[in-house]
Amino acid sequence: MEFLLEAVSVTKRFGGFTALDELDISISDGERLGLIGPNGSGKTTFINCVSGALKNDSGAIKFQGGEISKLAAHKRIRLGIARSFQIPKPFKSMTVRENLLIPYEFGVQALKSNAAKTPDEVLSLMGLNGKSDENAGNLTQVELRKLELARAVAADPKLLISDEAMAGLSGAEVDDILEILFLLNERGITIIMIEHIMRAVMEFSDRIVVLDAGKKIADGKPKAIAQNVRVQQAYLGV
C-alpha cells in the first residue's frame, strides 16, 4: 500500500539526546490524523523533519512514494506539504489580504498553471472575507489562527500540518477552527493535527498516533486510544 506520507525508522538526535527513536508513522490520502503526546515527546521534531525545518539523521521520509528527507523546505512546499505554526507571526502593518498574497507571490501558486484558489476564496473558506482590508495587527486571537491557516492553505497543499491551531481559544472558537479543518479535509486536503485539546483531537481524528520520549506508543481509532492504559499513563498522567 502506498501512503501519502510515510516515515520509516526516522531518528533525530540533538547531541546525546534522542528526540525521535526509529519512528514509523504513515498517513493515507484524505485521512485526518491526530498526533499527540506529552511535552517533549517528539511531536514538533517530527513535523519539523517532515516539513524540512530539520533533517532527520537516519531513516526515510516519503511523500507520494518519493524520498524527501534531503529536500529543502521550499521544495517540500512545492510538492504539497504545508504547515501552520502554533504562534502566528503575520506582518502586522499589512492587511489580511496582503499577508495572504505573500505565499502567492513567492510560493508555489505562481508556479502552477492550475492555481486552485484565489486569495479571496481562501479568505472566504476561513470566514475572513469581511476582514480582508483590516490590518493584521488588529485581529483577534482566533482570527490570527485563521489567517495562519489561510497562509498554509494558499500553498495549495495535499498535506496540511496543523500545529496547535486551537491553543488558548474558547470552546466556541475551538469549534470554529474544527469546522474549518473539517471543510478543508472534505475538499481533499489530508490533515495532521497536533493539539493538546483532547476533545478536539477525539472529535476530528480518524486515527490517533501517540508519542512518548521519541517513540510511538499507540496507533489506533480515538476510542481505542482513550482506553489505552499506556496512553493514560504517559499522556493523561493517570
- For residue 235, what pLDDT is reported? 63
Which residue segments constitute the domains of the chain, with CATH numbers given?
A: 1-80+159-166+191-238 (3.40.50.300), 83-156 (no CATH)
Hey, how many other C-beta atoms are within 10 angstroms of the C-beta on 92? 12
**195: which 3 cell numbers?**
493539539
What distance in Å separates the CA atoms of residue 64 and residue 157, rounded to the nearest whole number?
A: 13
Per-residue pLDDT of the chain (238 residues; tens, 9 = 90+): 679 999 999 999 999 999 999 999 999 999 999 999 998 899 999 999 999 999 999 999 999 999 999 999 989 998 999 998 877 777 788 889 888 887 666 555 444 434 456 788 889 989 998 888 888 889 999 999 999 999 888 888 999 999 999 999 999 999 999 999 999 999 999 999 999 899 999 999 999 999 999 999 999 999 999 999 888 887 655 5
- For residue 111, what pLDDT is reported? 44
Measured CA distances, 158 to 13, 44, 46, 113 (Å):
28, 20, 18, 16
- For residue 166, what pLDDT is reported? 93
- For residue 237, what pLDDT is reported? 57
